[in-house]
Amino acid sequence: MADQIPFVEYLEIGDDPHLVAHECKGCGARFFDRRNACAGCSGTEFQKARVATQGTVKAFTIVAFAAPGISVPFVSAIVDCDGTSVRANLIHVEPDPEHVKLGMPVRLTTFSIGADKQGTEAINFGFEPAA
């Protein structure tokens, strides 16, 4: 089996794929990027927090124009995962308003985005319809 690496540092891959956020110990705000201080309370202590793998679509847009080499249309969304907002693409769904709705239940999924010459595969994440 080829080696796999996550495309982003906050994605845990393997038998139980999930996202890990930096959670402020002061107010509980969650961030995926590295922080020196919390944007919510200015706290400086963080802990790792597992993010729910099920969520609902809170906002979305259907992207019709993108950089060269990016296939369009696709759905870019903000997913509420039990109180944690996650920006991600929706996959395995037709990119039109007939198939994507606010409040739609979705679940985290992972997929390969390619491999290098040594066979190491990069794994990314998105959300797919849960129902």
Name the percent of the chain lying above pLDDT 90. 88
Residues 44 and 56 in one domain: no
pLDDT of residue 86: 97
The tens digit of pLDDT for each residue in 11-34 reads 999 899 999 999 999 999 999 998
Please give the residue range of the domain that contains residue 88: 52-131
Average pLDDT over residues 117-127: 93
Determine phi and psi for 117, rounding to 5 degrees. -65, -25
The predicted structure's pLDDT at residue 2: 64
Q: Provide the pLDDT confidence category of residue 119 given band limits of 50, 70 and 90.
A: confident
Is residue 75 scored above 60 in pLDDT?
Answer: yes
| C-alpha closest to that of 23 among 1, 51, 3 | 51
- Check whether 1 has a pLDDT greater than 60: no
Sorting pLDDT into bands at 50, 70 and 90, what band is 61? very high
Domain shared by 26 and 79, yes or no: no
Provide the domain count of the chain: 2
Tell whether 45 and 68 lie within a shared domain.
Answer: no
Phi, psi dihedrals of residue 63, rounded to the nearest 5°: -85, 120
Residue 1 belongs to some domain of the structure: no
Averaged over 69-96, what is the pLDDT? 96
Residues 33 and 73 both lie in one domain: no
Cα 11 to Cα 28, 60, 69, 74, 86: the distances in Å are: 20, 21, 24, 21, 12
- Of 125, 71, 66, 131, which is closest to residue 100 (Cα–Cα)? 131
Mean pLDDT for 103-124 is 94
